[in-house]
A and B are shown apart, each in its own frame.
Chain A
């Protein structure tokens, strides 16, 4: 197969399968579940295999794969091409997006077993894979925006998947509307870019080639607007409030969309626009600060959450904050490396949470789930490994990625950011092990109420292996590695070198601190009732009242203004005037309908009027020439 065909198969396999399942779901009733299973796994499986292959040839041969599908718009010298492009960054993204999607598809066949909307779920899921791949492989920002919106739409549909409960729908709405705010920024940035340099071509290459010509302050503005889009998608302060609520969806959705892939789209986008951000240093720093605040904030809030999925959601937000910190100081490949490892361990954590939720009567409160270590031993093992990983304990994968971020921050000289990152990372270890110790380390024993199917464990096993070993791919020099991924990606990284001694000391210090925190958590929560004695700090359990503040600051005034417009302007000014106009026309019509009285004699009279006036007019007109 040629390169173009490979890319087309990669992209279209999930789409075609989604369409096929849609047709089946639409036309037949009582379809056997295995039919959906077959098509869902076919679509995502084919794309996963092809994605790995593409990433492999890109990695080994440094070959750019391009597939031009068709021309979408062609207006004078401006044209929007629908073409796909797998450069190093794109193939790195699909390398984990497609396989992780496939694994979560397998997991979901077990999780969603016997659900009455089984078919609908997998239609969305396959469509999601399609849009995510479109977002990643897009050759120009417009196509990327389509993928961006597509994943947002699917996210909305899946958050509100259990439509019987109106709360889920509200959560979906919240996610969708907050993402609109971000999309406004993204779209405005695209428009500005188009106005400035759009006539020179609008593919990524063309844009980056012509960035020089743009005024630097305007460039900063564009970069800021783009980051607003990333804020919305990647749940950073201040547009993060949708992510915790998004946990209303089924757990595989949380694992795939709200942890491993979609929320990282913002990071990917900033990395994609790296040449732009390199020219807007102040905006980059702003990104770093936003990331730091988000990471710290989410970590603090997570320490007082009791819902297992909420904890993981805040942890996702916190980790995304780390990635943005790295992006902000110009370490793009480091951020992407953390995204890579994060996809594995966070998906694993969510899957473990999903198994627990299914096994114990859909309970999600960790206080009610104490003592389940011997009921679900595999889950305990996997989640323990994942927690060690996320806390950056060597030699697990996240140790390398997070440590790379820490040392980059340290080397960049922004110590305030570094301190915030350090505190956030210590808190990460604390809240993760708080969860683990509360869940698994207790004298209590709870019986499993519903056996989980085996299909849920296989993908978890694979992910555990990936969690353990994926970090070795990008070993830093200090451990004798050669930063394979960073060299492959070859992004416009700002290098900040640190002497090996400092780096080693930093690592050691970090790790010791984290181990200390874990020990503290063990003392407090394992085999103890520390969780029961926790003081209810309303400030934290209610996430700093951010939702309420937004409600007061934005929702209320908007509601008030809407109400004003509805009751006053709309009702009186617009409705009344339009109604009056309509009544006027009605009355005029009544008046004129008297003329049309159905009596043919009168019609003849009107003709006579016309003829006479016509004659007079013509006579006067001709009179001038006579």
Chain B
């Protein structure tokens, strides 16, 4: 019961802050509200016993990526002139929401009709770093190694991209 109340509070925060994120005019506002979303999602992770992912989410997303975004926003020194003139932003948001509503409605309907239910996880080791680590290095070694290559490529790519001509 306590979990459910916590879930609803966190879910509410996540939805509201994400809505703020997509509707804020200035990117810095978006970024700050997105941090809130990410933290609430991390908390939701913790609520499902995924403790390791909770930590990773906090460190990588909220810690690294979002601070990088905020850093870039400040670094670029974006003034209001540089921002796109989004005259019809609200109409766009409304229209797109209407378009996507059948999609969401159908999915929600299908989920409600289905007979999935959360089991009470009895295993206390579930979601710990040991559990995740064992699975990662036993069953998921190849994807793990491939991700390392991907990160290397991204690193080289970003350096090449941001290099000034001549």
Contacts and interface: CB of A to CB of B under 8 A. Distances in A.
In the complex they form, whether A and B have CB atoms below 8 Å apart is answered with: yes
Interface of A: 605, 608-609, 611-612, 615-616, 619, 626
A615 B103 contact: yes
B113 interface: yes
B100 interface: yes
Given A612-B99, A619-B110, 7 more contacts: A605-B96, A605-B99, A611-B103, A612-B100, A615-B102, A616-B102, A616-B106
Q: Which of B100, B103, B113 has the most CB of A within 10 A?
A: B103
Contact of B113 (A608, A612, A615, A626): A626
A479 B103 CA distance: 110
Contact of B103 (A605, A612, A626): A612
Q: Which of A605, A608, A612, A616 has the most CB of B within 10 A?
A: A612
Contacts of B113: 626
21 contacts: A605-B96, A605-B99, A608-B96, A608-B99, A608-B100, A608-B103, A609-B99, A611-B103, A612-B99, A612-B100, A612-B102, A612-B103, A615-B102, A615-B103, A615-B106, A615-B107, A616-B102, A616-B106, A619-B106, A619-B110, A626-B113
Contacts of A605: 96, 99
A615 B109 CA distance: 12
Specify the main secondary structure of chain B where it touches its partner: helix
A616 B109 CA distance: 12
Nearest to A616: B102
Nearest to B110: A619
A612 B99 CA distance: 8
Interface of B: 96, 99-100, 102-103, 106-107, 110, 113
Nearest to A613: B102
A622 to B, nearest CB: 9
A611 B100 CA distance: 9
Contacts of B99: 605, 608-609, 612
B6 to A, nearest CB: 32
Contacts of B96: 605, 608
Nearest to B109: A619
A615 B99 CA distance: 12
A612 to B, nearest CB: 5
Contacts of A616: 102, 106
Nearest to A619: B106
A280 B96 CA distance: 85
A244 to B, nearest CB: 80
Contacts of A619: 106, 110
Nearest to A604: B96
B108 to A, nearest CB: 12
A612 B110 CA distance: 15
A626 B110 CA distance: 10
A612 B107 CA distance: 11
Contacts of A612: 99-100, 102-103
A626 B112 CA distance: 13
Contacts of A615: 102-103, 106-107
A287 to B, nearest CB: 83
- 7 closest Cβ pairs, A-B complex: A619-B106, A612-B103, A615-B106, A615-B103, A612-B102, A616-B102, A612-B99
A51 B145 CA distance: 83
Contacts of B100: 608, 612
Nearest to A611: B103
A384 to B, nearest CB: 97
Contacts of A609: 99
A612 B96 CA distance: 11
Contacts of A611: 103
B115 to A, nearest CB: 13
A175 B62 CA distance: 92
A611 B96 CA distance: 13
Nearest to B101: A612
Nearest to A618: B106
Contacts of B106: 615-616, 619
A610 to B, nearest CB: 11
A490 B128 CA distance: 109
A41 B24 CA distance: 96
Contacts of B103: 608, 611-612, 615
Contacts of A626: 113
B5 to A, nearest CB: 33
A341 B106 CA distance: 98
A612 B100 CA distance: 7
Contacts of B102: 612, 615-616
A265 B4 CA distance: 105
Q: Which of B96, B106, B107, B113 has the most CB of A within 10 A?
A: B106
Nearest to B107: A615
A608 B99 CA distance: 8
B99 to A, nearest CB: 6
B113 to A, nearest CB: 7
B87 to A, nearest CB: 15
A605 B103 CA distance: 13
A608 B106 CA distance: 14
A225 B99 CA distance: 73
A609 B100 CA distance: 8
A620 to B, nearest CB: 10
A597 B100 CA distance: 22
A608 B95 CA distance: 12
A612 B106 CA distance: 9
A617 to B, nearest CB: 10
Nearest to A601: B92
Nearest to A626: B113
A615 B106 CA distance: 7
Nearest to A609: B99
A609 B98 CA distance: 11
A609 B102 CA distance: 11
B100 to A, nearest CB: 6
B110 to A, nearest CB: 8
Q: Which of A608, A615, A626 has the most CB of B within 10 A?
A: A615
A546 B80 CA distance: 94
B129 to A, nearest CB: 37
A85 B102 CA distance: 81
B116 to A, nearest CB: 16
